[in-house]
Amino acid sequence: MEFLLLLWDELDDLAGVARHVARSAVAEAAALTAPLATAGSAVAVWFLVPHYRVAAALLGFTATFWGAYRQALRLAGG
């Protein structure tokens, strides 16, 4: 019986590691896709609506700036 309890504990630990890795992967993917989606919309506005090119450039600049700033804060924090 003790063997089953030890096995269950190891399986529970393994499931916890798998959950942690999955959450981390989803968080990293979400952090990567937000600036890419913003940059993609800025490029689309730049080419499809020529009279909004200044707004598209500002959108692209802002997405780049905040993405770099977030990464710098992440590196400085730990």
Please give the pLDDT value at position 78.
53
SS (H, E, C) 20-36: HHHHHHHHHHHHHHHHH
* Arithmetic mean of pLDDT, 69-73: 74
Query: Using one digit for the tens of pLDDT, what is the confidence trace for 27-51?
Result: 888 777 777 777 787 788 888 888 8
Per-residue pLDDT of 13-27, as tens digits, reads 999 999 999 998 888
Q: Is the pTM of this model over 0.75?
A: no
